[in-house]
Amino acid sequence: MTVRITRRRAITVLAAAAGLPLLLKANRAEARLYRWEGTTLGAPSSISLYHTDEAKARAAVTAALGELARLEAMFSVYRADSSLSALNRDGKLDNAPVEFIEMIGRAKSLAAITGGVYDPTIQPVWSLYFSHFTQPAAPTAAPAERDLAAALALVDWRGIEIDAANRRVSLARPGMAVTLNSGAQGYITDKVAEVLRAHGFANMLVDMGEPRALATKPDGSAWRIGIANPADPSRAVTEIDVVDKAVSTSGGYGTLFDDAGKFTHLIDPRTGQTAPALLGVSVVAETAAVADGLSTAMVLAPVERRQQILRDAGGLSAIFVTPDGVAATVTA
């Protein structure tokens, strides 16, 4: 069978799309919208910024895309030449980039805060599910218990060893592997936003898989973001206005391993079981790096721990949705 991948980007960005004027008056100059679309770590991504000089806007976006390419070369689990792939292949990474060490540190910190509900070393279990459900025989049941137990034995965020002074990251046991798919997109969003800000731009929506709104639109209105319906991610189940905040969404429906949607890409590191397909969680935070990762953790966290995890990790709110609408909202 073919695994259905719609990506974890479960946010429909409504701002800078239908219904948004492309020309606004700002500081007596005409502020025009410049928009770039592409992919980041395999997910749809975009930059929407207002400008009064298109040449400067193009130059800024070109610089931002250079930063995107540089960071993708570190964090991509799909590229054989990435820093992450080298770590997973060799069990260690010498001369690790500063940003890679920072991102690994962030992942370990979130794992500690959540008590392992979020664990970046879940990759061996994800790989097991993927290889199992892409067999020609098209299985409909979960992987064998012995195989799942063997993969789970390799999952332990405490086995990631960081030697920042010597720029070295290593894994404690052979077979361990790390994924930063829940975290790196938000981190890249923030870094790209920093580049655009350094070029003098203030009013923008940067979405490298997780959207971050910087300031308002030039007319003073907020950026409006739609939270996807888990049953149909192309449609919004609710909308929120965002100013100087980031939103990250996770949901099992991002990748379905089986046709019935019983097995999804969000896997509980404690049990090896997957999250339900028709539940989505959107986390709002000051930065995309904080929101990303937290949204995955909130999908898997026990109800009674949601608020504490959100608060300790620096999130502001978490919106839980089903195809019927908003099921719950948790605030820090």
Neighbour tally for 165: CB within 10 Å: 6
Query: pLDDT tier at 18 (50, 70, 90 boundaries)?
Result: very low
Q: Does 296 belong to an annotated binding site? A: yes
Is residue 22 in a domain? no
Q: What single string gives the DSSP state of each residue in 100-168?
A: HHHHHHHHHHHHHHHTTSS-GGGHHHHHHHHHHHTSTT---SPPPHHHHHHHHTT--GGGEEEEGGGTE
Query: pLDDT tier at 243 (50, 70, 90 boundaries)?
Result: very high
The number of distinct structural domains making up the chain is 3
Q: Does 255 belong to an annotated binding site? A: no
Sheet harboring 11-13: ordered strands across?
Answer: 11-13, 223-229, 232-242
Please give the pLDDT value at position 4: 54
Please give the pLDDT value at position 102: 98
pLDDT in tens, 83-119: 999 999 999 999 999 999 999 999 999 999 999 999 9
**Under a CB-based contact definition with an 8 Å cutoff, are residues 182 and 7 in contact?**
no
Please give the pLDDT value at position 323: 95
How confident is the prediction for the chain on average, in pLDDT?
91
CATH number at residue 47: 3.10.520.10
Region 254-263 average pLDDT: 90
Query: pLDDT tier at 29 (50, 70, 90 boundaries)?
Result: low
Is residue 13 in a domain? no
CATH number at residue 147: 1.10.3980
pLDDT in tens, 193-242: 999 999 999 999 999 999 999 999 998 999 999 999 999 988 899 999 99
The pTM of the full predicted model, rounded to 2 decimals, is: 0.91
Domain holding 309, by residue range, is 222-331
Same domain, 256 and 268: yes
Is residue 9 in a domain? no
Q: Does 85 belong to an annotated binding site? A: no
Please say which residue of 218, 241, 275 terminates a domain. 218
Query: pLDDT tier at 68 (50, 70, 90 boundaries)?
Result: very high
- The share of the chain scoring above pLDDT 70, in percent, equals 91
